[in-house]
Amino acid sequence: MAKFIVTGAAGFIGRNLVAGLNARGETDIILVDDLGTSEKWKNLIGLSYTDILSVDDFIGLVMMGEMEPPETVFHLGACSATTEKDADYLLKNNYSYTRALCEWCLDNEVRFIYASSAATYGDGELGYSDADVDTPKYSPLNMYGYSKHMFDLIALREGWFDRIVGLKYFNVYGPYEDHKADMRSVPYKAHAQILETGELGLFKSYKPEYEDGCQKRDFVYVGDAVDVSLFFHENPFASGLFNCGTGISRTWLDLGKAVFSAMGKEPNIKFVEMPDVLQGKYQYFTQADGAKLAATGYDKPFTSLEDGVKQTVDYLQS
């Protein structure tokens, strides 16, 4: 029996989480992911683990009762493309898969820690509270956010949050996003764009209350996302749905300038039109309410935007 199962293990947060487990001396880990024909396999280099399974093989073993239950499942496997329009695909990957795995964990008394998303909050007009009483009121702006929201709601309705943990990751960035193509975070895209053109394009604002580049997000360095995730394995008394964010909102201009600084260059930023597929579905402001997480005893400071971007750029230039 493996001690851990990590789904989405070759993905961005998953890869960093497995590295975090390794850094704590944990290697008895089964990885679950579909590597396909992409370069995602490269994220496995340097990791220590027991075995790796495809998603279909893993689910097949679970459904047939042939998978030995571990101590903890970190469920990070999902379609993370906010622009994905195939609702059936998103339901299968982000809702049905999560529900089946959660029910298996509950039946076998396995700790279940899964990735929700700040996309569940929609346009933010109703705030960013992760209190159970507030969860049903939110209206995501895209099907990706709704597919995550659906599981949050079923877990709340069934009372599963007494035993499981959901983490609403805000804008996570950092090393090992190479495989994500257009869904890479802005520090990744900015670094590549600056190297190629010497300038950075940020989206114009289409709301008068926000100047161009002054749209704000809660940017979370991936190392902090890993630390919060592992905290809930190490503290099984704490369960529920929690925000995973810094609680500080920063502008895209702040982020862009941090990338230029980390590259040792003067800022050269222009503003570009937002693609039609994003207009009307774009979050202009996000900021995690961290009170519920703090109440569990988690008190590790989050990495500043400047420090996190510097670590990301150092990785990209290494």
Active site residue 97: no
Question: Using 50, 70 and 90 to split pLDDT, how confident is the model at 283?
Answer: confident
Residue 22 domain-assigned (yes or no):
yes
Instruction: Give the position of tokens 């109703």.
Output: 126
Instruction: Give the position of tokens 């590790």.
Output: 300
**DSSP H or E stretch at residue 280:** none
Tens digits of residue pLDDT in 83-121 = 677 888 888 888 999 999 999 999 999 999 999 999 999
Residue 198 domain-assigned (yes or no):
no
Tens digits of residue pLDDT in 41-81 = 999 999 999 999 999 999 999 999 999 999 999 999 887 76
| The one catalytic residue among 97, 128, 138, 144 | 144
- Kindly state the tokens that stand for 206: 């289409």
| The one catalytic residue among 3, 42, 180, 265 | 180
- Find the domain containing 137 and state its range: 4-173+221-247+286-302
Task: Write out the E strands in 153-256.
Answer: 165-169, 171-173, 200-203, 216-217, 219-221, 240-244, 250-251
Residue 259 domain-assigned (yes or no):
no
Active site residue 40: no
Query: In whole angstroms, what is the distance from residue 8 CA to residue 171 CA?
Result: 18
pLDDT at 179: 78
Burial string for 211-243 (b: 16+ CB within 10 Å, else e) reads ebbbbbbbbbbbbbbbbbbbbbbeeeebbbbbb
The CATH number covering residue 157 comes to 3.40.50.720
State if pTM tops 0.85: yes
Residue 116 domain-assigned (yes or no):
yes
User: Count of domains in the chain?
Assistant: 1
